Structure 1
Amino acid sequence: MQRYFGKIEGLQDIGDVLWYAVGVCEDLGVIRQSYHFTPLFEDPTSARTVVHAVGFDREWLKCYDESDFRRKDPIPARIMGHGSMMTWQEAMKLGPNTAENEEYFVAMKRFGLVHGFGVPLFGPRGRSAYASFDFGHPISEESEATLGTIRSVSQAAHQRVCVLLDEHEGTVDLSQREQEVLEWIVKGKSVSAIAGILELSPDTVKTYAKRIYAKLDTTDRVGAVVRALKLGLVNV
């Protein structure tokens, strides 16, 4: 376990931290996972929550990006309130459930999201996050050691993200066009979609994105979004 923690502590980029944690969990058999970084005083399904998801059906992710659909999901808030690991099925039964909750559960089943579990993550200065994992089968088939490693690595990764955010406090000066591109990045739009919206070429959008990442001291979209929200550079 110590080698995982040592590696995480040595990483200097938020994106690198998240992708390292993803790789560890995949090596342990996880087929899909997500990390929900929630701004202070908001819930883990708010529109401003940054979701880093891997292994989920693309159509499901498209649905989850829609704030109205995401708000129907009671599972993250219930698990955060519970304060410890819980399966999705257990969280569903913590009701009472609204008609919208039931609609969300039906959609989950349609996309094969049945056996997963959630883990609450806690960081300094009240920065909480939620993580979910799915082996594609009941967690009762996995060892306590495997589940413990996933929980520990996820917690360590979240704490490292929080530390990196604090280490890079300060102001960021963006041009008007960079600001526009950043706002669409935060909303989850692809390079081609942003190019169409702003009437720019995809290569031009890529150039702006690289400049934004450099100014935010990160190397990828997730890190940029997390920093942008923390610094108050965008409102969504």
Structure 2
Amino acid sequence: MDPIAFAFKIESLTRLEDVWRALVASVRPVGISRIGYHHLPPPGAPDAGLLRVENAGFGEALLQQYLSARARGIAALAALLQNTVRPIYLDEMGSLDALTPREAEHLSEYRLHGVENGLGIQVFGPNGRNGILAIDLHHSVRLRPEVLETLRWVCQAMHLRYCELLIPALGKMPSLSSREAEILGWVARGKSNVSIAEILGISAHTVDAHLRRIYLKLGVYDRMSAALRGLGFGLLPADALS
């Protein structure tokens, strides 16, 4: 499992399923036979409402359990992963007092499906297009530090290539003029049209006209949706939410 060799290998792959299979094959030598990947587009992205999950070895029942827990808001490991940058072992979750009874029950159900211990890893992509990976470690309590770090980089490389192939397939992205992007950035910060006009030295009427064109381009009808869509499409300035 050489992360550099893996990254070069997947550069030549042009199908999402092949990129995923390459990851599955690369982790087998270290004893990983069950691994899952949940691709998480940012709010406002064209595929934000679509479910994209890859599964190798976990089985349909365990996959459905996870998806049901996500829908009910009790997938504790997934929720915790999305708020951290470090990997989390499943056995670390049992010591968390913050778990609700339903979350604890959900975690215990993993063991009913033969997951004695597991590992969750978050991966990061463009414009908040992230993902989480779940890995069954069988009876291993911990991976060696060097193996864990290599695994993280291989998963990250897979996710970035997955994003690189997926995003163009979502269709042509809308484009905003520099002024429209500037105004949308201030909208995302919660500024009113009057405040934006004062900041930019233009009239509130001009701001309103720009905003109507932004709505049309993004296919939305309100400020919040426009801000979310702008974030999801990567149309906002880098400091838009600072």
TM-score, length basis structure 2? 0.62
Are the counterparts in 1 of residues 69 and 106 from structure 2 also a CA contact under 8 Å?
Answer: no
- Shift in Å, 1:82: 2.0
Residues 121-178 of structure 1, C-alpha deviations (whole Å, 9 max, x = no match): 00111101001112202243x333322222111000000111112333426xxxxxxx
Matching of residue 74 in structure 1 with residue 76 in structure 2: yes
How many residue pairs get matched?
A: 169
In the other structure, the counterpart of 1:15 is 17
- Shift in Å, 1:68: 6.7
Tell me which structure has the larger Cα radius of gyration.
2
- After superposition, residues 1-236 of structure 1 pair within 5 angstroms as 1=2, 2-41=4-43, 48-66=50-68, 71-140=73-142, 142-170=143-171
CA distance in 2, matches of 1:67, 1:136: 22
Q: Which runs of 5+ in 1 are unaligned?
A: 172-229, 232-236
Distance change >3 Å, CA 162–CA 47, structure 1 → 2: closer
- Alignment-mate amino acid for residue 108 of structure 1: Y
Q: Identity over aligned residues, as a percent?
A: 27
Distance change >3 Å, CA 15–CA 117, structure 1 → 2: same
Are the counterparts in 2 of residues 78 and 94 from structure 1 also a CA contact under 8 Å?
Answer: no
- Alignment-mate amino acid for residue 160 of structure 2: Q
CA distance in 2, matches of 1:18, 1:57: 16
* Secondary structure, counterpart of 1:64 in structure 2: helix
CA distance in 2, matches of 1:31, 1:112: 13
- Alignment-mate amino acid for residue 120 of structure 1: Q
